Amino acid sequence: MKTDSQFIKPWTGVFAATLCPFHENEDLDEAGLRAYIRELVDVPGLMGLVPNGHTGEIMSLLPEERARVTRIVAEESRGRVKVISGVSAEGSREAILHAKMAKDAGADAILLMPPHHWLRFGRDSRTAVGFFQDVAEGAGIDIVVHQYPAWTKAGYSLAEMLEMVKLPRVVSIKMGTRDMARWGHDYRALKKAASHVSIISCQDEYLLVSLLDGADGALVGFAGFAPELIVELVRRALARDLEGAYKAEEMVRPLAQIIYRFGEPSSNAHQRMKCARWLMGKFASPHARRPLRPLPATDVERIRGELKAIGLI
């Protein structure tokens, strides 16, 4: 049975994908970001922060802004937690450049997303594995593999992941397969092949189920929204304390319904996270960058009412 001691192992436990605050004119709100990161770092049991993920609106950030966000997170973390910066690029040379920028900004590792043109055109296995080889050799920084849903053309097969974990720089897989029939099988096969590589769930909507079926932690946007609750849920689940895990899940459930509305993580869900934390007085602003549009006033009022109903406003 796993116990709390697993939290001291590298690349295990809870990693929060962080939100990114903007001013109304869409400029980066650095003061708001620093205050938010300081709050997260003080949460007991949180093992790392992940800026520049989808939760952090990486697609709307310029390369130099991604590096700036990473630097701010690293400065405010002060070495107390790991910093894993998201890298999204369409080619190996661009990905290596972004990875080096993240490393220079103070990141301990990168979360390497698949090139998004794969979502349209697909790729072969040599290309998928070769992309990680290129970045590992070219950037000299540890890598967390970002596994996309199995139903996309960018999702990795088990055979591909088994090749990836042979790379010395691959330290973890953020498992977002979203195919629960595969989950336990893939987890056990990967741990047998490379026990030192952690497998962490990013399935916010199936978090407890995936933790119980086989996981070493969680890397989720919801940990950037309600970190204490997610740390408690993950700690209980990994210790196989089912009663405690179910109690924690019952606390998470109403908040998850406010944010995810029975769906997967999405840009709209991340906007609702911002809005909810802002309404609770825990985030600088609800603003997002274009092409996202502001949440309709009716949605804001619905979120306000739902937060009031559970006593958070």
pTM for the predicted model, two decimal places: 0.95
Is the pLDDT at 5 greater than 50? The verdict is no
Question: Which residue's structure tokens are 């594995």?
Answer: 129
CATH class of this structure's domain 4-254: alpha beta
Report which secondary-structure segment, H or E, holds 264: none
Band (pLDDT 50/70/90 cuts) for residue 4 is: very low
DSSP characters for 145-205? EEEPPTTSTTPPPHHHHHHHTTSTTEEEEEE----HHHHHHHHHHHHHH-TTSEEEE--GG
Band (pLDDT 50/70/90 cuts) for residue 6 is: very low
| Domain edges within the chain | 4-254
Is the pLDDT at 7 greater than 60? The verdict is no
What does the block give as tokens for 9? 């192992």
